Structure 1
Amino acid sequence: MQLVLRGGGGKGSAEAMPGLQLGAVATRADRQGRGYAGALMQRVLASADTLRLPVLLFANSSVTDFYPRFGFHRLPSHRAWTMGAFEPSGAVATPLDPTREADRRLLSDICTRSIPHGGALSAAPEPSLPLWYLCNGLARALVLDGGRSIVFVTEADSCLRVHDWLGPLPVDPLATLCSVMSAPVVRIEFGFLPPCGWFGDNLRLEPDDAAFMYWRAARPMPPGPLLFPEMLMT
C-alpha cells in the first residue's frame, strides 16, 4: 500500500511511502492460548522491520491489549459529517456496474489518477477494494463529471454516507451530492476527511472513540486530523 503522510496539521506537503496493512489476525478457538498469533505477528513484523516499512492495522475493542505488545500504538481518529435539510435535485448520476469490463477499467483508471484524500495519514486508492464493496452490495458507485470521478454512497435512516470519492473533488460538493440522493436526508457523513472548504462552518469533526487504528513505525505520526479512507480499511 502507498501511504501518504502530511505535516502541518494535515495540510502541509505530502510524503508518499510504501507501507504494510495487516488484515485480521485470529486463532481457532481450540488452538488459542498457545502463542500462535504472537509467533505469526513476530514473523510478519520481522519482515516489515527488514524492509523498514511502517505497518497499519484496524482492530476492534476486544483486542486492544494485543497489538501494543508488538510496538503498535493507537492513532486518534475522527468522524466527519454535516447536518441540514438536503433534497434530491432530480439529476440522475450514472451507476457504475462492477460486472461490466468497461466500468471496471474506468474504476482502475480513475484510481490511478486520483489524489489521496487529506489528513495526517492517507493512502493512494486501490481499485480492488472499492470493487469488493460493490460486488458485495455494500455501497453504490455513481459516475460523475462525464466519467472523471466516482462517488460511493449508501443511504439509510435519513443519512447519506459518502464512503469515498475518487477523482477531482468539487469546491462545493452539495450540488453533486444532491444529484445522487434518492430521498431527502438530514445528515451527510464521510468515510474520508473532506477538504476544509466543504460545507464551511457546518462541517463537523469530532474524535471517533470507536475507531481502533494502530500504527507501528520508527517515525511518529504527523499532527493533525486523521480519518483514514474507509474503503482502504481491511
Structure 2
Amino acid sequence: MTVILDDPSLRLVEHYRDDPHLRGALNALTQQTYGFDFEAWYQAGFWPDDHQPCSLVRAGKMLANASSNRLDFSFDGQHLRTVQIGTVMTVPDAQGNGYSRYLMERLVTRWAEHCDLLYLFANSTVLELYPKFGFRRVVEHEHYLPWSAPPCANSFKPVDLDNSEQRRQFMATVASSCPQARLSLQPHVSQTMFYCQGPYREALHYSTVHDAYVVVEHEQGRMVLAEVYCARPVALLEIVGELVRDETREVVLGFTPLQGEGFATRLVDNDDALFVWGSTATALEGQALMFPLLSHT
C-alpha cells in the first residue's frame, strides 16, 4: 500500500482480489454506486488477473475506485489489444477531494502507451469529466431491423447454468467461439460468465439445430440480440426469425454483424457513452461500429 495525496491516513491499494475485507469494501461501494457487485463472479472463480481495481482507502473504508480491464478484440480479423476503465466511483462524502482524478491519471499513465486502445463508457452525469484526462467522445452505431413477420418455429431453449453439464458445455462453446461481429471480443469466458450468470441469466438460450447459444431479451415489442456464441458464423436473419415473438416490432443487435445486409444503422442512443483516449482518430472511427454489449465493464 502507498500513501498518497499528502495524507498519511489515505492509502492506495491494488491486487487485492483475494483479500475478503478489501474485496467486500469494493463490492459495497459498487453496489451503492451501480447496483451490483462482483462477489458471485469471484466465488465462482471467474474474476481474472486482467481485471484490476485501483482503490483509495482510509481506516478500512473504501473512498474511491477506478478499475482497468485488459481485453483482446478481433477487428475485421486484426488483433486489437485494449484496456477498458470502469467502475469509476467515489463515496458521496468524499467527492470533491481529487480522488477520482488521482486514480484516473494513474491508470492513464499506466496504460495509454501500452495498448492499442484505452477507452471507457460513461453515463450522462459525468460526460464533462473524462475529457479532462485526454478522453474524447466517440459515437457508436447499432444495427436494427423493423419487424412485422410472424415468428418461425423456435429451436432455442433456455439454458440453466446451475446445471453443471449445461454450464460446462456453454463455457466450452464460448472458449472456442468464432467471431460473429466485425469488432468481436476474443473468447473470454470470465467476462461472458459475469453477464450470463448475472444480469443476463434468464436471457441465455441454446439451439441444437444451430449448435449455437444466444443472449436475447424482449421488452415492449423490442428484441435485443445481445450476443451469439457458435463455432462457425451464423445466419443472423435465420436465427432472428426464430427468436422474435408475435409482438416484436423491432430487432436490435448488441454487436456489429460481420455482414449487415438487411439491417439499417443509427447512432446508439443510451446512457452509456463511449470515450477513447488520445487525440488521434482510431481505425474504429468513421464506421458504423459498436463495442459488443457484453464486453462493457
Normalised by the length of structure 1, the TM-score is 0.83
CA distance in 2, matches of 1:197, 1:213: 22
Equivalence for 2:189: 127
Root-mean-square deviation over aligned CA pairs: 2.4
What amino acid does structure 2 have at the position aligned with 1:132?
Answer: F
- Give the aligned partner of residue 7 of structure 2: none
Give 2:273's aligned residue: 212
CA drift of 1:196 comes to 3.0
Aligned partner of residue 185 in structure 1, secondary structure: coil
Deviations 1:107-126 (A, max 9, x none): 2222222233444x442242
What's the secondary structure of 2:89's corresponding residue? coil
Aligned match of 1:230: 293
Aligned position for 1:155: 218
How far residue 218 of structure 1 moved from its aligned partner, in angstroms, is 7.9
Q: Would you say the 8 A contact 2:142–2:288 is kept in 1?
A: no
Which residue matches 1:3? 73
On the 8 A contact 2:159/2:206 being kept in 1, the answer is yes
Give 5+ residue unaligned stretches, structure 2. Answer: 1-70
Looking at structure 2, the residues matched to 100 and 217 of structure 1 have their Cα atoms a distance apart, in angstroms, of: 45
Three-state SS of the structure 2 residue aligned to 1:179 is: helix
Residue 136 of structure 1 is matched in structure 2 by 198
The one-letter code sitting in structure 1 at the alignment partner of 2:233 is L
Determine which of 65, 77, 92 is the counterpart of 1:29.
92
Count of residues paired in the alignment? 222
In the TM superposition, what are the counterparts of 1:63-102 in structure 2 within 5 Å?
63-102=126-165
Of the three residues 257, 260, 265, the one matched with 1:194 is 257
> C-alpha displacement at 1:137, in angstroms?
4.8
Task: Give yes or no for the alignment of 1:109 onto 2:169.
Answer: no
Gaps of 5+ in 1: 7-13
User: SS at the partner of 1:85?
Assistant: coil
- The residue number in structure 1 matching 2:63 is none
Identify which range, 29-38 or 190-199, moves more after superposition. Answer: 190-199
Q: Does 1:39 align with 2:109?
A: no
- TM-superposition CA deviations, 1:97-148 (whole Å, max 9, x none): 11122222222222222233444x4422423334333333535111134573
Contact 2:180 2:234 in 1 (8 A): no
Shift of 1:151: 0.9
User: 1:149: Cα distance to partner?
Assistant: 1.9
Letter in 2 for 1:29: P
Larger of the two Rg values belongs to structure: 2
CA contact (8 A) 1:53 1:217 kept: no
User: Residue 41 of structure 1 aligns to a residue in which SS?
Assistant: helix
Separation in 2, partners of 1:169, 1:145: 15
Is the CA contact (8 Å cut-off) linking 2:155 and 2:209 kept in structure 1? Answer: no
Distance in 1, Cα, partners of 2:155 & 2:280: 46
The alpha-carbon deviation at position 60 of structure 1 amounts to 0.9
Which stretch of structure 1 is more off in the superposition, 17-26 or 134-143? 134-143
Q: Is the 8 A contact 2:72 2:79 kept in 1?
A: yes
1:118/1:193 contact within 8 Å kept = yes
Cα separation, partners in 2 of 1:111 and 1:50, compared to 1, 3 Å: same
Given that residues 90 and 179 in structure 1 are in contact (C-alpha distance below 8 angstroms), is that contact kept between their aligned partners in structure 2? Answer: yes
Q: Which amino acid in 2 is paired with 1:133? A: Y
Greater strand content: 2
